Amino acid sequence: MAIALVLVLVVVGSVLFHFLSPWWWTPIASNWDYIDNTIIITFWITGVVFAAVVLFMAYCVFRFRHREGNQAAYKPEDKRLEWWLTIVTAIGVTAMLVPGLFVWNQFVNVPSDATEVEVVGQQWQWSFRLPGKDGKLGTSDTRNVSAENPLGVIASDPNGQDDVVVEAADLHLPVGKPVKMLLRSIDVLHDFYVPEFRAKMDMIPGSVTYFWFTPTKTGTFQVLCAELCGQGHPLMHGVVMVDTQEDYTAWLGEQQTFAQLSAPQQVGSAE
């Protein structure tokens, strides 16, 4: 008997917690409110199913609890009911899957006007590289990584000479412009994750992965590493500052290019 009451309380408590507790996602700062909407749809469908199943159980436990002289019904199967439930379930699943795949299609297809920005992860810091005036990132190779060339840019590639290198410092992005984040690692797996942007992707040594988004709010956002990368993993924070176009241009003007950094007279310890 207590169990029937507790089952009802589990449903009521869970629903109240969902709506009343202060713990919810951070305000979004990118174009991916589609993802948030898909989550909301999923919460509604799954929430209704959870409540329905558990409340039905609670009713059964209360109504059909053992009392002297009771006998259970004998009914091995009910084909019609089983098919009916299967179809309703399939419809519910489709209602979640279709919007999900629709948004995924947007997520994996990068708009043609997106600017490329490279993120390089290493234990346990973030570096960045932006294309220079030519709009192209030069090629790179982990085998070229050295103290003077922390990102392994291939010096013989002319596209790389004017690349802006931001080593272990904050990344700035202009608001309202789509960016394609090209993700690299020179040691282990990392994952570039900014909760406010809703997007994340692993970084794999030896490969270049990507995702895209459009920052929609100016401000300072924390980068978290979301793939276990050794014992410094929880400390691998970074900063992305989303600027107005003027602030961004000013910041960009202060940065050094690969050519400047690798010029012989400037070689020196960064620390």
Partner 1 sequence: MVDITPADAVPPAEVAEMELYHPHSWWTKYVFSQDAKVIAIQYSATATAIGLVALVLSWLMRLQLGFPGTFDFITPEAYYQFITMHGMIMVIYLLTALFLGGFGNYLIPLMVGARDMVFPYVNMLSYWIYLLAVLVLVSSFFAPGGPTGAGWTLYPPQAIMTGTPGGQDWGIMLMLISLILFIIGFTMGGLNYVVTVLQGRTRGMTLMRLPLTVWGIFTATVMALLAFPALFVACVMMLFDRALGTSFFMPAIVEMGEQLQHGGGSPILFQHLFWFFGHPEVYIVALPAFGIVSDLISTHARKNIFGYRMMVWAIVGIGALSFVVWAHHMYVSGMHPYFGFFFATTTLIIAVPTAIKVYNWVLTLWRGDIHLTIPMLFALAFIVTFVNGGLTGLFLGNVVVDVPLSDTMFVVAHFHMVMGVAPILVIFGAIYHWYPKVTGRMLNEAMGQFHFWVTFLGAYLIFFPMHYIGLMGVPRRYNELTDMTVMTESAQHLNSFISIMALMVGFAQMVFLFNLIWSIRHGREAGGNPWRATTLEWQTPQTPPAHGNFGKELPIVYRWAYDYSVPGAKEDFIPQNMPGSFGSSRGPA
State the nearest-atom distance from the C-beta of 130 to partner 1, in Å.
Answer: 21
CA distance linking residue 140 with residue 207, whole number of Å: 11
Contact 165, 151 (CB under 8 A): yes
State the nearest-atom distance from the C-beta of 246 to partner 1, in Å.
Answer: 25
Question: Among 254, 191, 164, 216, which Cα is nearest to 29's?
Answer: 216
126 preceded by cis ω (within 30°)?
A: no
State the nearest-atom distance from the C-beta of 174 to partner 1, in Å.
Answer: 21
- Choice between 187 and 252, CB closer to partner 1: 187
**Got the DSSP string for 105-148?**
HHHHS--TTPEEEEEEEETTEEEEEE--TTS-PPPB-GGG--SS
State the nearest-atom distance from the C-beta of 190 to partner 1, in Å.
Answer: 9
CA distance linking residue 190 with residue 230, whole number of Å: 10
CA distance linking residue 125 with residue 233, whole number of Å: 10
Find where tokens 């992965």 sit: 209
- Choice between 132 and 179, CB closer to partner 1: 179
**Count of positions (residues) in the chain:** 271
- Choice between 57 and 259, CB closer to partner 1: 57
State the nearest-atom distance from the C-beta of 59 to partner 1, in Å.
Answer: 9
- Choice between 220 and 260, CB closer to partner 1: 220
- Choice between 94 and 249, CB closer to partner 1: 94
